[in-house]
Structure 1
Amino acid sequence: MGEYVTAIILGIVEGLTEFLPVSSTGHLILTETLLGATEEKWKTFAIVIQLGSICAVLLLFWKRILGLLGISRRHALGPQLNLLHIIIGILPAGIAGVLLHDFIKEKLFSAWTVLLSLIIGGILMIAAEKLQPRATARTVDDISYRQAFGIGLFQCLALWPGFSRSGATIAGGILLGTSHKAAAEFTFILAIPVMMGATGLDLIKSWDYLSVSDFGFFATGFITAMVVAMLAIVSFLKLLERVSLTPFAIYRFALAVVFYFFILK
């Protein structure tokens, strides 16, 4: 299979799964294995297309981001959500990510740990739906500092590959009293600095594997992931108004079975 076709397929998989609570890591590992994209350059490619997904959030939420940064009052978020919410939300995962980066890369990126995180993440999502309290934050502007910090703590679970950042933080938000949509929007905004920091660090460490000759299919994957991620985010936010996290949790269990037979057996 040609590199450009592989780049498009992986870009679609990344864009579809990065912000859905189904684990982009699990999907990418499975897809890379099936496509034979296991060389070191494809690991760097995975980092690049993740940046494409981040750009999708920047494009979709640019008004909110301008408001957070205080660049334009016209684009302000509202009376409550502000930059301090974001700082409080990213601190736990930011600190843990820096301290545990090497450990995560060396110990938690095995196929077995990813499979286990798929299952445990799904259980957390079902538990959140079963135990959810009355929502005190109906919109993202209603989220309190306490809820922002709590969601940030849940985001630490996403450092475990396969757990899913959106799955951990949306489930955490629900348990802390936010609506599904409020938790999802806060999750997407929170992902920008965390993912940029994490992928930036990975990209620096993988710099030797970047080559000018690979620019074409790297760019193809980047653009594909960005466009697909934009469509996935918009669709997911609408879907959350009608369904719970439980179907996504069941999907994760099914993926774990597929993962086992194609990767581990």
Structure 2
Amino acid sequence: MEVWQAIVLAIVEGLTEFLPVSSTGHMIIFSSLMGINELPITKIFEVNIQFGAILSVVVLYWRRFLQGFTFYKKLLLAFIPAAVIGFALSDVIDAMLESVVVVAMMLVVGGVVLLYVDKWFRNATEDHISYRTAFLIGLAQCVAMIPGVSRSAASIIGGMSLGINRKAAAEFSFFLAVPTMLAAASYKLVTDLLKLEVSDLLKFDLVKIQNSFEVIHPNDLKLLLIGNFVAFIVAMLAIRFFISVLTKYGFKLFGYYRIALGVALLALLAMGIDLKV
């Protein structure tokens, strides 16, 4: 992977992670078109740069993260469904991730939903998120375990269906992304990419842990640092853009975009272009 390719993927991650457009679909397209989708470093890179995106939420909303235990108890309640279901169905989720057709179809279906969601929930005006609401938003987030659905879209729509207004639902979705993405990215990095068992970490097996990092070439560490920095900066800009557009115009713009992206993926597959997650 070249530096410019790393920057492109980091920009894509930063732009799409918190928007309701599915970062998975974008990563598939860009890594495949650049011819790096099968490189070992690509998988490691795509997982690792999520930490930069996560940090952008903490920096932008740092005051909210200092509110006290109530804030964290709500995040914990919302996080529990994804933690339980994600762990229990990890093999099923991985199997679905192998199908680019599933990603493309879900992009189109999700796009159609976004075209009408503002109309369906036009009476959603509440900005207070209770413990019950937080837990139910966490359940809604689990729909995004189907590749192409978008974690952001699932959690925001889940909040709006419970009467939460668009801005409050979007911001809670950002907050919920921190523990959810942190856990998912860390687990995938450790078990799938570094080939470690959870027991190795619990036993603090330094030999196995050290040997596992040999899959990352020293020259690739520079790419990971650059990628995280770019993803961090771009994600902060994307979050501000999303809140502004969402408040003024709603979801329709993102709905049309998702449909176009899903159709583009299906077209690339029909042309015989090898796309892999």
Same fold (TM over 0.5): yes
**Residue 54 (structure 1) aligns with:** 54
Q: Structure 1: 5+ residue runs without aligned partners?
A: 70-80
SS of the aligned residue for 2:63 comes to: helix
1:238 aligned onto 2:233: no
Counterpart of 2:166 (choices 180, 199, 209) is 180
For residue 120 of structure 1, report the CA deviation from its aligned partner. 2.3
**Residue 86 (structure 1) aligns with:** 75
Deviations 1:90-115 (A, max 9, x none): 11111111111222112333111111
1:118 aligned onto 2:124: no
Structure 2 counterpart of 1:204, one-letter code: V
TM-score normalised by length of structure 1 = 0.89
SS of the aligned residue for 1:242 comes to: helix
- Residues in 2 aligned to 1:127 and 1:152: alpha-carbon distance in whole angstroms: 22
Q: Give the RMSD, CA atoms, in angstroms.
A: 1.6
**Residue 76 (structure 1) aligns with:** none
Does the 8 A contact of 2:141 with 2:155 survive in 1?
yes
**Residue 4 (structure 1) aligns with:** 3
CA 1:188 to 1:53, structure 2 compared with 1: closer, same or farther past 3 Å? same
Does the 8 A contact of 1:4 with 1:217 survive in 2?
yes
Q: How many residues align?
A: 250
Structure 2 counterpart of 1:94, one-letter code: A
For residue 65 of structure 1, report the CA deviation from its aligned partner. 1.1
- Residues in 1 aligned to 2:97 and 2:42: alpha-carbon distance in whole angstroms: 19
**Residue 158 (structure 1) aligns with:** 144
Deviations 1:174-231 (A, max 9, x none): 1110110000000000110010000000110212432322111111111111110011
Deviations 1:125-171 (A, max 9, x none): 23422211522423xxx112222122111100111121111111111
Q: Structure 2: 5+ residue runs without aligned partners?
A: 195-211, 272-277
**Residue 26 (structure 2) aligns with:** 27
1:221 aligned onto 2:227: yes
Percent identity (aligned):
41
Structure 2 counterpart of 1:181, one-letter code: K
